[in-house]
A and B are shown apart, each in its own frame.
Chain A
Amino acid sequence: MNRLAELLDRLSFEPSRNNKLRLMTDYFRSTPDPERGYALAALTGALAFQHAKPGLIRALISERVDPTLFYMSYDYVGDLSETVALLWPEPAKDEAGVGHNRPPLALSEVVTTLATSGKLHLPSILARWLDQLDEIGRWALLKLITGSLRVGVSARLAKTAVGDLGGKEPNEIEEVWHGLAPPYIDLFAWVEGREARPEATDPAPFRPPMLAHPIEEPDLAALNPEDFSAEWKWDGIRMQVVAGHDANGKRVLRMFSRTGEENTHAFPDLAEALAHLPAQDFAIDGELLILREGRVQPFSVLQQRLNRKTVSAKHLADFPAYVRAYDLLSLNGEDLRPLAFRDRRKRLEAFVAAANEPRLDLSPLVHFKTWEELAAARADPASAGAEADAAAVEGVMLKRVDSIYVPGRPKGPWYKWKRDPFNVDAVMMYAQRGHGKRSSFYSDYTFGVWRDGESGDELVPVGKAYSGITDEELARLDRYVRNHTINRFGPVREVEYNSDKGLVLEIAFEGINWSSRHKSGIALRFPRINRIRWDKPPKDADRIGVLEALLKEREPA
């Protein structure tokens, strides 16, 4: 556990891909089975045990630390596991077993214990483990058992590091991966040249997706419009739907997120519908969307479905899930990825037509001859074919008609050209400490715009932004908040704001919706700080009418 904790700690701060690989490969080379195999499982998200609930960890710490101090610490650090790792009191020497010659806690012990012991014993086991570890060890353990380990290593990078042990390409590892299980003794044996290649047995494997580079208008001049095909960029969730047959001839249907996480269980309605397609086996690349009366709903509606951990029948009926397909990666045993986009597109069109399944449709092409024409379509999707679905369009995708399907983000074949964001000048009203990368700073800001109040102009909050600024700006805003606090409500600080004093933030956002949950009746999508207007007096910030006008404009008729 100690060696793994060190590795995870170092990885979490190491930005360079090559140095990450070096750290992992060194670890795999110098750590014996089965420890390294469980570590690989931890890095690839393949460890299977019931994750400990945050409530359990809170309960353990509340027995040991004053609740107010815990709360203040958590607010500051912004991450439960890390807070507890830092707050955990060092045990008296004999409690920890120091000097008793007990072997250090091993990851394999953690994994096997968690797999076999009941819920009832978990708190005392966990407390004993935490007593044995130092801050970094406690952090790593808590991250692992809550299933929230994030050290900037993708499953693919970890597999690449394993491949580097014996000169194997990551795709070779990927091909056998789905037939393997922790602690991957046979995988390491094969990579190190000691044994034969393990059999791949997955009937419905995930295929790493092809991703697009962002592009801006000036860059288009260098490209020839004839080489490209365009389609709408849908504001949903990228989804891969894969069907196959297992060894017993039973149909297997799986749905994967962009990162290869399986999420079939979250969309039983869709899985059920797609499991009955006529094709034997297939892999569709497309967008998960919610449709109502044939109309794509904005992302905020999809969000409501995603927010539910368990889905009720009513929820399924209110938020029906669809797949809008834009690529076909394999069909009836044939790998289509080596084909050019235009050929895959023909196969996709035929496939969708033959499927004749209401839950599956085709993402239409956007026809254009010149970049000006495409720019016009992007500016007004409703008039360029998207019609009532225009509210769910967040730009256009450009794909070279001759491009083969390459996993990763190759430069050149695919581009995304996002719609321009909207801007509004708003006034900072409240601030809260952030989480994750920006924790411990006042980095989440509630901002408002002016409206007519009972006694003159008043600010009404319209959203919260917590990104878009550099670290220098963040430090300056943090100081601004601390020095201009007029009220504290728990972790929330109210800052000074009136027509003369206060801070104007230029907020950029991707979309706007009516919302009953917000006092203003309006919700902004992806708001972020574009600029801090240190120069602008608050009275010159925007009024709510600006946003309302924007909303009416975007209302489908």
Chain B
Amino acid sequence: MRGSDLLKTTPAGLYCAAGNFHIDPLRPVKRALITHGHSDHARAGHDSVLATHETLAIMAARCGAEFAGTTQTAAYGERISIDGLTVSFHPAGHVLGSAQICIESKGLRVVISGDYKTMRDPTCAPFELVPCDVFISEATFGLPVFRHPDAAHEIARLIDSCRLFPERAHLVGAYSLGKAQRIMALVREAGWERPIYIHGTMEKLTRLYESEGIDLGEIVRVTGPERPKLGGEIVICPPSALQELWSRRFHEPVPAFASGWMRVRARARQRGVELPLVISDHADWDELCETVLATGCSELWVTHGEEDALVHWATGQGLAARPLHLIGYGEEEVEDLEPEKPAGEAGPALI
């Protein structure tokens, strides 16, 4: 048995014929196993969905309770059998409820990591290393220029800037699932006791995090008349809001942006960001390399991102490595660059 007997790439994404299920499918399928709640991985309209309890809650919050025909909860570590295969979900450290999916069949172990990071994140379960034969990794930051610094250092820069420009609101663009709540938690750890303000679109998911027992301190939704008065305060908003009329109601705001892309100056400048914060929920180059080696895998498949460099490196390490060129993932990290995408459009190549 080989990895390629177990999993194939199809226009709908990775497909396991033996179990007749897709993983993070890009279009509606009969049976979907979903790694985490980001919109490029967790789409509505499948007949049945198997995911962690938190991921199911996030999908319901994002797409409405009717997002799938039936749902089934997978607890971390629970062994679930599907048509003679064993499937299990393990923490990926990416966002709340995020999981790597392990498929075992006749002594072969394949791990689909979904999106993951091994750096500390107070808002989700830490990444668990699952030894395997075939490791399927993303490579959003698969270039050695991407080395994320300690997130606490970046948060300290944000807080310093609030002190330096006490008359200017600090608008922190952050993806509304995961990144936003992680920043809130980190800001609290840095000793910030004032309320943290949020854009209205962040409220639902933030409350969901709180209801899952994550303490974020006092979180206040920004109202219109308040905006000009928030000098020196931290306001978290979706990245696209930095360019919208919404942000102009603040007095001379400092546009900040929390993303791994901020490591590259041109990316920050392209967005008019004045305070780039290099904080990412994806593994950086060093984490990717360390994780691949630590799994002990003999085969590496790379789903999306900067796959060429990671494949080159892995080949040099003696691994059988190949890119899958999957199209349609990675949107959450580029979401900020693509403000208006018609709903349901996965990517032009699929049309």
Contacts and interface: CB of A to CB of B under 8 A. Distances in A.
Contact of A83 (B145, B271, B348): B145
B245 interface: no
B263 A86 contact: yes
Contacts of A139: 265
A440 B327 CA distance: 18
A406 interface: no
A13 B274 contact: yes
A86 B266 contact: no
Contacts of A436: 266
A483 B312 contact: no
Given A69-B144, A76-B145, A439 B266 contact: yes
B147 interface: yes
A484 B348 contact: yes
Given A82-B264, A440-B267, A483 B144 contact: no
Contacts of A72: 143, 306, 308-309, 312
B276 interface: yes
The number of chain A residues touching the other chain, given as a range, is 35 or more
A441 B261 CA distance: 12
B263 A479 contact: no
B316 A439 contact: no
B339 interface: yes
Interface stretch (A166-174, A205-213, A446-454, A470-478): A470-478
Contacts of A66: 312-313, 316
B275 interface: yes
B268 to A, nearest CB: 6
A82 B337 contact: no
A69 B268 contact: no
B8 to A, nearest CB: 20
B272 to A, nearest CB: 7
B270 interface: yes
B273 interface: yes
A77 B266 contact: yes
Contact of B338 (A68, A135, A476): A476
Interface in A69-119: 69, 72-73, 76-79, 82-83, 86-87
B296 interface: no
A483 B327 contact: yes
A487 interface: no
A437 interface: yes
B272 A86 contact: no
Nearest to A474: B270
B119 to A, nearest CB: 16
Given A73-B144, A83-B145, A12 B312 contact: no
Contacts of B273: 13
Contact of B264 (A87, A440, A479): A440
Interface in B139-193: 143-147, 149
A431 to B, nearest CB: 15
A68 B275 CA distance: 31
Interface of B: 143-147, 149, 252, 263-276, 306, 308-309, 312-313, 316, 327, 334, 337-340, 347-349
16 contacts: A12-B269, A13-B265, A13-B276, A66-B312, A68-B309, A73-B144, A76-B306, A79-B266, A82-B265, A86-B146, A139-B265, A438-B266, A438-B270, A471-B270, A483-B347, A484-B349
